Amino acid sequence: MSTLTLTAAQHADRRRRIWAIVASSSGNLVEWYDFYAYAFTALYFAKAFFPEGDQTTQLLQTAAVFAIGFLMRPIGGYIFGRVADRYGRKTSMIISILMMCAGSLAIGLLPTHATIGVAAPVLLLLLRMVQGLSVGGEYGTTATYMSEVGLPGQRGFFASFQYVTLIGGQLLASLVVLVIQTLMTDAELRAWGWRIPFFIGALCAVVALYLRLSLHETSSEKSRSDEGAGSLRAIFTHHLKPFLLVVGYTAGGSLIFYTFTTYMQKYLVNTAHMDLRTVNVVMTLVLFTYMLMQPPFGALSDRIGRRTQMRLFGVLATVGTVPLLYAIGGVTSPYMAYVLIVLALAIVSLYTSISGVVKAEMFPPEVRALSVGFGYAIANALFGGSAEYVALWFKDRGSESSFYWYVAILCAVALVAAIVMPDPKVKGYLHGHETDPD
């Protein structure tokens, strides 16, 4: 009877953990959907908020507002990481999704320049700053929570769903925009249709909020009341090396991620000279395939070890980036473009599938969310958010291949970080023990 009871308890615990992964990752999907909805609809609302100048100037202005969202991420990583370590992961994730919901709904309702003048672009900027704070805080807290709630021996697999939903949010935003483009005229889209994706995002955020309210807390009262909980001083005094490793991982990992995902559409059009419609189809299929690759690669890390997988990523990314970008730049067949980009993203998946857990394992619970979130946000803002700008800057100066080497060098930095990282099976704070949820 005791064996049966134990088995039933184990099954119940497993179901609870799986539900926690679903609930936490649903919010992650909504966060990234809202963030990319702005990028995909900017073409239609640029003139409504920045009426003066030609279309290029308008798009540059909306792109600048998009970039502000990246610059706000380190602040969000700090604020929400501190909240998560001092007041709980659940509290941080609920505040984050509330902010994203409010920001998305407000953008959807925002009056244009014709109605309220210069206040319109100013308010748009402020709302993007709110969303940037929210996304900046989302990564570290969600990565920490999903790592803590994952079953021992399967944490790589469980944590991989963070990037499943991250990519899924981008795909969902693209799909929603594609549907409204099909159903509406260009004039309707520019007049009011661009608002629809933001309303959908706000509605989805309400659903995600409901799911997150059911989550159990994975941090303990003891860790939250620790003197150094959520403290940068504690990180820099006692955990500086792993914090720098997080920055090093993210510098290379974020840069190569954005290179082969968001920038790749422009690269195929501007360098490979492929038709835009064809490129959109190719990249949609690529991202869908990439999303599906995350759980298998996460499970792989549970077998071969996180340190081994990170070193494998570092080597393959450093060696493979330059030839892959050269090959993609000269491709003529959309089928070959798909194969080459998927091959590149298979290498990237060695990192993205375990991006959160490999960082979370290096820190004790009282500074885990802040260390992961703040370190990630700094490197992501500097290297991931600037990827497209740097690539186009090199191309404009007639030295596009220099960007290939820039990516490879940053991947080499991630390799160095993987070489010097401690073995999580020996020194990892998550290995070999359960979390102590409230």
What pLDDT is stored for residue 437 in this prediction? 35
User: CA neighbours within 13 Å on the CB side: how many for 114?
Assistant: 6
Entry pTM: 0.86
Q: Which two tokens stand for residue 263?
A: 């920038």
Q: Are 33 and 172 in contact (CB under 8 A)?
A: yes
Count the domains in the chain.
2
Name the 3-class secondary structure at 76.
helix
H or E segment at 50?
Answer: none
Residue 407 lies in a domain: yes
Domain membership of residue 355 (yes or no) is yes
349 and 375 together in one domain: yes
DSSP 333-400: -HHHHHHHHHHHHHHHHHHHTTHHHHHHTTS-TTTHHHHHHHHHHHHIIIIITTHHHHHHHHHHTT-H
Residues 280 and 184 both lie in one domain: no
User: Maximum distance among all alpha carbons in the chain?
Assistant: 77
Q: What angle do CA 143, 145, 151 make, to 5 degrees?
A: 100
CB 140 within 8 A of CB 370: yes
Mark 363-387 as b/e (b = at least 16 C-beta within 10 Å).
Answer: bbbbbbbbbbbbbbbbbbbbbbbbb
Helices 276-304 and 334-352 cross at an angle (nearest 10°) of 30
CATH code, domain with 116:
1.20.1250.20
* Whether residue 214 is found in the same domain as residue 240: no
| The two structure tokens encoding residue 204 | 């989805």
Of the three residues 218, 243, 266, the one that is the final residue of a domain is 218
**Per-residue pLDDT tens for 341-361?**
999 999 999 999 999 899 998
12 lies in some domain: no
Same domain, 84 and 127: yes
Looking at the structure, tell me whether residues 172 and 280 fall in a common domain.
no
- Give a yes or no: residue 438 inside a domain: no
Which of 166, 196, 218 terminates a domain? The answer is: 218
Report residue 209 as tokens: 């909020």
Q: Are residues 79 and 160 in the same domain?
A: yes
Domain that holds residue 38: 20-218
Residue 107 lies in a domain: yes
* pLDDT of res. 432: 46
Phi-psi region of 117 (alpha: psi -120 to 50; beta: other; left: phi over 0): left
Tokens found for residue 109? 């309702």
CA distance linking residue 331 with residue 13, whole number of Å: 50
Classify residue 226: in a domain, yes or no: no
Residues 248 and 100 in one domain: no
Give the residues of the chain that fall short of pLDDT 70: 1-6, 9, 53-67, 426-438
Whether residues 211 and 271 fall in one domain: no
pLDDT for 433 equals 43
Angle in degrees, CA 259, 302, 143, rounded to 5: 55
Residue type, 418: A
Burial of 273 (0-12, 13-18, 19+ CB in 10 A): exposed
**Do 139 and 27 have their domain in common?**
yes
Environment class of 89 (CB within 10 Å of its CB; exposed 0-12, middle 13-18, buried 19+): buried
Residues 33 and 138: their CA atoms lie apart, in Å, by 13
d(CA 160, CA 293): 9
Same domain for 265 and 344, yes or no, is yes
Regarding whether 279 and 200 lie in a shared domain, the answer is no
Contact 359, 143 (CB under 8 A): yes
C-alpha span between 290 and 295 (Å, rounded):
10
Q: How far apart are CA 264 and CA 258, in angstroms?
A: 8
In a domain, 6, yes or no: no
Calpha distance 93→2 (Å, rounded): 37
Q: Is 210 found in the same domain as 349?
A: no
Query: From CA 378, how far away is CA 383, in angstroms rounded?
Result: 9
Indicate the residue among 218, 248, 270 that finishes a domain.
218
pLDDT tens, position by position, 249-300: 999 999 999 999 888 888 898 888 888 778 888 988 999 999 999 999 999 9
**Residue 245 included in any domain:** yes
